[in-house]
Chains A and B, each alone.
Chain A
Amino acid sequence: MDTIEIFKQNAENVSTKIIESKNMSKAMEEIIEYIPKGSKVAIYGIEVEKFPSLMEFVKKNNITIIKDKLRNNLEKLDIGICIGDIAVANTATVILKSNQEDLRLLTMICDTNIIFIKKKDIVTTFDDCILEIKNSLNSCNYISYISGSSRTADIERVLTLGVHGPGFLILVILDN
């Protein structure tokens, strides 16, 4: 099985939704259906203005876009959109070098988290990227692995998603 297939299978096991897309523009069109009317959407590391289809959707549906100062939006954030640095197929993990507070908050406080990852950045196992992570430890103060939605089984061992962080994780795999 190739890396992408392994990735998809493991993602499914942890209730992560996978979308495959040719490029960013196409991807923007595909994620629109997950953004409710009137919702608050935080976007980090992406110049949304470059994607007219998204901008049009935002205008039509009364959507608020937040680009920074996430501390002012801690009570409620519907959608968080950002870019992952590396992904590991074996565990369906996305790795984010997240020095920036806003990036960390975005991936925690939203209800639905959408993360873009480039195909070329997906490796099979942690062994394939451990050196890169190791090197990053000197330049990046906070590295996060995210492998699925925020989950708990603390009440009667019943799996429940979205306890503190996102209850829904969507990973968009980009061809380039």
Chain B
Amino acid sequence: MSSFRDIKEYKKAIKENINNKFQREVLNNFVVAYREARTKVFKNEDLENLREKISNLKKSAIENLRELYLKFKEEAEKKGVKVYYAEHGAKAKEIILDIAKKRGTKLIVKSKSMTSEEIKLNPFLLQHGIEVVETDLGEWIIQLRGEGPSHMVMPAIHLSRHDVARLFAEKFGEREDLDIEELVKVARKRLREKFISADIGITGANFAVAESGTIGIVSNEGNARLVTTLPPVHIAIIGIDKLVYSLEDAHTILNGLTKNATAQNISTYVSWISGTAECKSNPNNQKDLHIIFLDNGRYAISKDPIFKEVLKCVRCGACANVCPIYRIIGGHVYGHIYIGAIGLILTYFYHGIDADKFLIENCINCHACKDVCIAKVDLPYLINKLHSVILNETQQNKTSHFIVTILKNRNVFHSILRIAKFIQRPIKDNEGYIRHLPLFLFKNQSFRKLPALAKEPFRDIFPRIKKEVSSPIYQIALFTGCLQDFVYPDHLIKGVDFLQKNGIKVSLPLLQGCCGLPALMLGEEKMAQEIAQHNINIIDPCNYDYIITLCASCASHLKKNYPILLRNKKGIKVKADLFASKVMDFSSFIWEKLRDRLSPSKIQHYIAYHYPCHLIRGINVVNPPINIIKALGHNITKYGEEDVCCGFGGSYSIKFPDISKEIVHNKIEKIKNTRATILVTDCPGCILQLKGTLKKENIDIKVKHISQLLEGKN
């Protein structure tokens, strides 16, 4: 875990992890197993209600951190505990060293604590001549190897039994062929000796309950119980964001935490410590208990109107478990110790901009983390926001600024695209793919075939296919999205054809620009705002019943992000809300308004469906596309990863082609092994990624937009 000097070094580290076959296999198996186990463990739970409850109680606690801290202190001190407030890491370390020195401490045992790792406690204590031993098995293993964790809950997930056996052989002279059970026995024996001879036990805590001055510690191995029981001194170091009002609140979190983290009903051990329990190794028979609350910027975050959300995190690690990028690259290419989507954000606040500035780019905006988060933290939104903050601080946004200026100015954009069409002629092959790419523009893009620009953009075709619909059922405005307008006009032609044949009057306001999502993804929030405002002016929601788009990314951006982007613009916010309320994705519109016009196709196919991230998680559309495919008489072929990102993510696949390639291959591997002959989806971006990769790999599966299934229907 370290900061990377430049993006090149960061990408090199990523590449090494991509090539780590063992890690890849372990993570792949883990991701699939986790998904299934999580579904099972939440089977009898009202999950949405639980998430809402956790989110609300954390929100309320964050608003009142000071008050909760004071209450905790008062209650805990009544019970003989010494309570401290450390403004930052150095202060916390000084407090701990002071306690240790007074005791003449030689050995400290620790149970897993992210907070202590956050402030780099171990190296500090070692410098002062104190031996520190981690007692969580995974933490102990990586400590012996001198590494950082690669997962918040399973820190040694990147290592094999052979790695561990070799380590134990080298360190303790054990046999090199020990199996896992024997390795665990070695740990039990060796660490038991440490528990017995330690002078101090240091833990973190999962909860600090203010009403009774109680801390709650969750563990599966039970090391936390030994660390808190055997040594005469117990020091707990806790982020102030772990404060809650009541035991009931803590229990609500506990219920979600263990299920979301490891798909367990409850962790094996939960310890509630309120005050100084009996400890026979002290002359007064009482434990010497110190509780240090670490601020380290948390209180300031709690006052930030946007980023206070991150303090809702309960450290379950689920955002890594579902992240398609984590699945490929593992946890050793994050900033410090905070891994997964939350790591992209916390790293900036706790470890600084240098640790985070490349990391923050590495989000594909698939929303899987937002969906799984037990505290309902809107991670993709916060990552976008932070990206923008970091770009402003580092002023590394010159290239993207240029791109955004083009996106906003539709005339410039269209002219460039028209020129590009001529330029691409010599490099276009017979089937409409680009043969070679100027390498300086797009590095490492050769894993998929890229489509050439269409001969004629949709905006030029529309006047010819436009029909006057007498007494229409609905009047709609079509929002085309750049990719369909200029690369895949056929999606729109088929879609418009079906709509017009079924009594829908379609308008195409020509001055519409890009939706603005690419700008937001590049961290250009201001530009995204201007683009949003422009589009709302051009497509006045008062003039149409609905605003329809065939691009899931556009749909989710128009519907969810416009009102947020324009929330502070007086007057315009009203229009943005109305606009957003009228935006519908194509499949939902067809299924909700025109389902009786669907009839079985002449030829029926085995069809696999790919959920665009921005459809299923962006705007929570689940059933309409599947229902349409079934209504057309086709057979839905399941492959288990329908809702996993395809790895496109717009500019993401240009920035991180090596990762993008691995993500799409994971997906295609699953589909390849089914009977499906057609892969259908609702987003031109996904189509570009999937179609291009299948083509490159010579796999005979057609990729279609759902509108292209409606051919010839009346």
Contact = CB atoms under 8 A, between A and B. Distances in A.
Interface of A: 10, 13-14, 69, 71, 74-75, 90-93, 98-101, 104-105, 107-109, 126, 130, 133-134, 137-138, 140-158, 160, 162-165
Contacts, number: 167
> B183, B191, B246, B275: which has the most chain A beta carbons within 10 Å?
B275
Counting chain B CB atoms within 10 Å of each CB, the highest count among A93, A130, A134, A140 belongs to A134
B247 A137 contact: yes
A134 B210 CA distance: 12
Given A155-B161, A156-B180, A165-B225, A141 B266 contact: no
A163 B180 contact: no
Nearest to A104: B229
A138 B266 contact: no
A75 B192 contact: yes
Given A104-B225, A147-B265, A140 B141 contact: no
Interface residues of B, number: 64
Q: What is the interface of chain B mostly: helix, strand, loop, or mixed?
A: mixed
Q: Closest 3 CB pairs between A and B?
A: A165-B222, A154-B138, A141-B277
Interface in B137-172: 137-138, 141, 154-157, 159-161, 164
Contacts of B666: none
A136 to B, nearest CB: 9
B229 A101 contact: yes
Given A104-B225, A137-B212, A163-B188, A154 B265 contact: no
Contacts of A108: 222, 225-226, 229
A78 to B, nearest CB: 14
B208 to A, nearest CB: 13
B529 interface: no
Contact of A160 (B156, B180, B214, B226): B180
A157 B30 contact: yes
Contacts of A126: 251, 255
27 contacts: A74-B192, A74-B196, A93-B266, A98-B277, A130-B248, A130-B251, A134-B248, A143-B272, A143-B274, A144-B225, A145-B270, A146-B269, A152-B137, A152-B138, A153-B262, A154-B155, A155-B183, A157-B154, A160-B180, A162-B188, A163-B188, A163-B222, A163-B223, A164-B135, A164-B222, A165-B221, A165-B269
Contacts of B214: 137
A156 to B, nearest CB: 5
A133 B247 contact: yes
Interface string B527-568: 000000000000000000000000000000000000000000
Contacts of B183: 155
Interface string B266-303: 11111111111111110000010000000000000000
B184 interface: yes
B156 A155 contact: yes
B79 interface: yes
Interface of B: 26, 29-30, 33, 79, 135-138, 141, 154-157, 159-161, 164, 180-181, 183-184, 187-188, 191-192, 195-196, 209, 212, 214, 220-223, 225-226, 228-230, 246-248, 251, 255, 262, 265-281, 287
A146 B278 CA distance: 19
B247 A130 contact: yes
Given A91-B266, A108-B225, A164-B188, A134 B220 contact: no
Contact of B276 (A93, A138, A141): A141
Contacts of A107: 225
Nearest to B227: A164
Given A130-B248, A154-B141, A164-B191, A145 B269 contact: yes
Contact of A138 (B154, B270, B274, B281): B274
A44 B630 CA distance: 65
Nearest to B81: A141
A152 B220 contact: yes
Contact of A151 (B157, B221, B246): B221
Given A164-B135, A164-B226, A152 B221 contact: yes
Given A105-B229, A130-B248, A155-B164, A142 B270 contact: no
A143 B271 contact: yes
A158 B180 contact: yes
A154 B278 contact: no
Given A143-B274, A158-B161, A165-B225, 13 more contacts: A14-B268, A91-B266, A99-B277, A99-B278, A126-B255, A142-B274, A143-B272, A146-B269, A157-B29, A157-B157, A160-B184, A163-B187, A164-B135
Contacts of B275: 141
> Which of B29, B156, B269 has its CB near the most chain A CB atoms (within 10 A)?
B269
Given A157-B26, A160-B184, A147 B135 contact: no
A15 B431 CA distance: 60
Of A90, A109, A130, most buried by chain B (CB within 10 Å of CB) is A109
Nearest to B184: A160
B536 to A, nearest CB: 48
A148 B180 contact: no
A137 B274 CA distance: 6
A10 B44 CA distance: 13
